[in-house]
Amino acid sequence: MKLADVFIEVPQTPAPAWFKEKPVQFIMLHTTASWHCKDYKHINEKFFLDYFLKTLRWQKVGYKFMIFCDHISQFGPLLLEQDRLIWQEVTYAEPKVNDRAVHISWIGGLEGTPQKLIETDNRTEYQKEAMWSLVKRLLEYYPNAKVCGHYQFSNKPCPLFNVVEEARQYGIPEKNILDKDPLNYHYIFAQMKNKRKDNLV
């Protein structure tokens, strides 16, 4: 992963009046909770563009970065010269923090048969390594941001692993780890485990 290749673009359209620029506070990790790209070729950029833009009718993909089996895709610009998000950089994965978060999602998380679908952490080694090297590079640009999991803000097991524990394993400094778990990850995960899963994302 070369973050030097990160897409940097000057904004072309003005921010809506309600939008206030804020420092990047969170680097939030997600799973697509979809079939895995290692098993299905059609789980690619086009699949997610169709899903977000046509099925959900969103204006853009919900995540800034998506981690496939052998590459990372970036959706939309990211201005790395400054410690804040501008309007064009905002993605929509978690409404509580979208205006101050960079969202990253790994592709996969779903296993089983149509009769019994389960959500599980089936990341490949590449996906783990790529995710954490991306987080480390982003922290160089956003030195005060904290890495966190979606489950720390919403009652869902996303991204299907314990972000706080893994951040420590990968050597993320304590000051850059969001150490709060108000909804209790283990409880959420236990609740969701083995539960029938019908929706993507």
The residue among 22 and 96 lying less far from Zn ion, judged by its C-beta, is 96
Which is nearer to Zn ion, 80 or 122 (by Cβ)? Answer: 122
DSSP letters for 3-18:
GGG-------SPPPTT
Residue 103 within binding range of Zn ion, rule CB under 5 A: no
The number of residues that bind Zn ion (CB under 5 A) is 3
123 binds Zn ion (CB under 5 A): no
The minimum distance between CB 34 and Zn ion, in angstroms, equals 12
Choose which of 101, 150, 162, 178 interacts with Zn ion (CB under 5 A): 150
What is the nearest approach in angstroms of Zn ion to the Cβ of residue 158? 3
Q: Hey, what amino acid is at 188?
A: I
Q: Pick one of 130, 158, 160, 163: the residue that binds Zn ion (CB under 5 A).
A: 158
Give the contact letters, 8-47, x = binds to Zn ion (CB under 5 A), - = no. ----------------------x-----------------
- From the list 72-80, 151-159, 176-184, 189-197, the region that binds Zn ion by CB under 5 A is 151-159
Of the candidates 147, 62, 142, which has an alpha carbon nearest to the alpha carbon of residue 105? 62
Given the rule CB under 5 A, which of 7-15, 73-81, 152-160, 163-171 is the region that contacts Zn ion? Answer: 152-160
Q: Is 157 exposed, middle or buried (0-12, 13-18, 19+ CB in 10 A)?
A: buried
Residue 197 within binding range of Zn ion, rule CB under 5 A: no
Query: Of 43 and 158, which CB lies nearer to Zn ion in the complex structure?
Result: 158
Binding site for Zn ion (CB under 5 A): 30, 150, 158
